């Protein structure tokens, strides 16, 4: 686990498990936490590390409804929690089934402690919803929440920090492995979603899994998805 400072007040925290990357954007008055991890133990560790960087009140944004991005949210309560409106629907409809499937998988893979942590994590639903875009004022810094259309899911949200040239892409982009095309993915429209993100002009893109990348990497992944 390590912090990467991508720009002034813009950080990514890397985790070995699932090669995951979580995010933090700090303004003058508030900070924004980008995804919370896969259980409350990870969420509490992440929250403690955020507090080592800033004492400011936080807001959470969930990039999509897959378990490893949101089951740590309870560790940040009380706070506003942002997500796409269909993300909330997916969590309410499928969150428990997702938990059960991954709990069984962790047991089968010989990771009983991780399975136990996930089994008791609280499912927290977002209370601030967006459809296409929203702007969050962190004090001296505005962050854009962007839904680029159906791609990894039908409710992905990317976090754009215009003044820093950084974009947190969630699982719209993956580094170190091919994009994860699950049963809820939309591979035909995924390349167009990446085009929309590239049009925002970021210099650095932070995947939901893997190390930060540049625009050329995202364009290459778009081309790969176009051929699949």
Tokens of 59: 């807001």
Choosing among 3.90.1150.10, 3.30.1370.60, 3.40.50.720, 3.60.15.10, the CATH entry for 2-227 is 3.60.15.10
- pLDDT at position 106 is 98
Residue 110 CB-density burial (10 A; 0-12 exposed, 13-18 middle, 19+ buried): exposed
The phi, psi pair for 152, rounded to 5°, reads: -60, -40
> How far apart (Å, rounded) are the C-alpha atoms in residues 224 and 214?
16
- pLDDT at position 121 is 98
- pLDDT at position 72 is 98
Mean pLDDT per block of 10 residues along the chain (228 residues) reads 95 97 98 98 98 98 98 98 98 97 98 98 98 98 98 98 98 94 96 98 98 98 92
Query: Domain ranges in the chain?
Result: 2-227
- pLDDT at position 1 is 78
- pLDDT at position 50 is 98
- pLDDT at position 228 is 75
């Amino acid at each position: 686990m390590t912090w990467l400072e991508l720009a002034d007040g813009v950080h990514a925290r890397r985790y070995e498990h699932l090669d995951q990357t979580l995010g933090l954007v700090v303004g003058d008055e508030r900070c924004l936490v980008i995804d919370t991890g896969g259980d409350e133990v990870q969420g509490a560790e992440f929250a403690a590390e955020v507090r080592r960087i800033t004492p400011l009140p936080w807001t959470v944004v969930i990039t999509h409804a897959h378990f490893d991005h949101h089951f740590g949210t309870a560790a940040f309560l009380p706070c506003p929690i942002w997500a796409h409106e269909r993300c909330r629907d997916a969590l309410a409809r499928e969150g428990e089934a997702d938990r059960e499937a991954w709990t069984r998988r962790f047991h089968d893979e010989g990771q009983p402690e991780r399975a136990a942590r996930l089994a008791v994590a609280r499912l927290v639903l977002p209370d601030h919803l967006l459809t296409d875009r929203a702007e969050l004022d962190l004090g001296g810094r505005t962050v854009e929440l962007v839904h680029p259309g159906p791609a990894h899911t039908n409710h992905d949200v990317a976090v754009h920090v215009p003044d820093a040239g950084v974009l947190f892409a969630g699982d719209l982009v993956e580094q170190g492995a091919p994009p994860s095309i699950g049963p809820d993915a939309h591979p035909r429209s995924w390349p167009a979603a990446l085009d929309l993100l590239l049009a925002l002009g970021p210099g650095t893109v932070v995947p939901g899994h893997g190390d930060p990348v540049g625009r050329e990497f995202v364009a290459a992944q778009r081309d790969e998805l176009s051929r699949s």
